[in-house]
Chains A and B, each alone.
Chain A
């Protein structure tokens, strides 16, 4: 079979596409891997970008942990920031990698600094080495899309829009948003909570919990001094709202003629039964959010010390893909008993908190 028979066309990325419409790449993966490990700094940059791009272009056929599993475990923070230049192409142009000082504008710096702060939080408090516990590189793309009012985790990297300047400012502005997105990665590697219904709301809640703790840790705030807001400062001053969500008082974050009222419930009696938003994952997360807030406030001190530890162990050792609110309540109660003793103040606090949001503990032990 000659060359033309094997390959039909060169696609717009410059790759040869064969008759079965599979993408093929000129530089094989093993070669890029060798360059990343042994090349010069510049060579490593290009090879690393190629590896990320090939993953993206293979139709997101992403094996979680692929990139980190290709290499030996790293114990160092490794960040890469890309600029999508207001397109929706990922990852975009490499603009800053680990160790480069003050390169790129404010948005690049925020993505860089706050992903570092999130890494530090997980390492310092839970001895967790990045998203996958193996030093997975933290990739972020900024300036995604046009007037893009969102940030998201796509299973491999974080992506941030600039906002439209009418409702939203840039999404890298809030450290807890970056902590939130990275925590989706942590959840992916741990409980892998399905992004639907109550499991999805728990997925969202864990991202809010640890996003908030990343902010509190960076500011060295005790629980009673924290604002317990997610995305504070993201709205423009045209919007009547303080944040996207309030963990302290779900439903109070905004009330505006343009965007409406914050719909989050803080109790099971107000649980929202809906098909939109994957079953209201950003709505009903208010209930477990408030439960965490109540535990954190009652136990006092720094919220990551006890409440955060309980929640972290529940996420990493107890919960599974389809865990619901009842399972989360039972698990956090059991973890609190294991860590601090049966009927301890800590365990009682967890029980009271879930009771206050309408969930009775049904623990086995």
Chain B
């Protein structure tokens, strides 16, 4: 299983892509991934939570690929849920950066 986090936006507009093999995930993140693959999470977290007038925030695209199954979640720093945020931080910290 591959978990990929692509981040865009921010003041500098630098796109960053990080990827890990999901087989050694900490237990608290395993359930997050299961929820994503099981369809319990919306693939497009509402951007309506973005404050009016906000600028230079981060945008995330989280992809989980398990064989032929693939789930992608899009969100930003205002709409990202705590468990997804933890997953993103873990991937960024433990990844082989792909860009």
Contact = CB atoms under 8 A, between A and B. Distances in A.
A168 B57 CA distance: 17
Interface string B51-71: 111111111010000000000
A151 B51 contact: no
A150 B52 contact: no
A277 B55 contact: no
A282 B12 contact: yes
Contacts of B50: 195
Given A276-B61, A282-B13, A188 B8 contact: no
B11 A187 contact: no
Contact of B13 (A156, A168, A277): A277
A204 interface: yes
Interface residues of B, number: 23
Given A231-B12, A277-B9, A282-B9, A152 B57 contact: yes
A260 interface: yes
Contacts of B53: 64, 153, 155, 184-185, 187-189, 192
Interface string B1-38: 00000101111111100000000000000000000000
A149 interface: yes
A283 interface: yes
A278 interface: yes
B56 A153 contact: yes
Contacts of A260: 14, 99
Contact of A60 (B58, B61, B78): B78
A73 interface: no
A262 to B, nearest CB: 9
Contact of A244 (B12, B57, B58): B12
A203 B61 CA distance: 23
B86 interface: no
A181 B57 CA distance: 11
Given A231-B12, A260-B99, A151 B56 contact: yes
A231 B52 contact: no
A228 interface: no
Given A60-B49, A155-B53, A181-B56, A150 B11 contact: yes
A259 B99 CA distance: 8
A189 to B, nearest CB: 8
B8 A203 contact: no
Interface string A325-347: 00000000000000000000000
A282 B10 CA distance: 8
A197 B10 CA distance: 15
Contacts of A168: 12
A207 interface: yes
A283 B57 CA distance: 15
For the complex of A and B, 9 pairs with smallest distance between CB atoms: A188-B53, A282-B13, A155-B51, A184-B55, A276-B8, A152-B56, A277-B8, A150-B10, A155-B53
Interface of A: 59-60, 62, 64, 149-156, 168, 171, 177, 180-181, 184-185, 187-189, 192, 195, 203-204, 207, 231, 234, 244, 259-260, 263, 276-278, 281-283
Interface of B: 6, 8-15, 49-59, 61, 78, 99
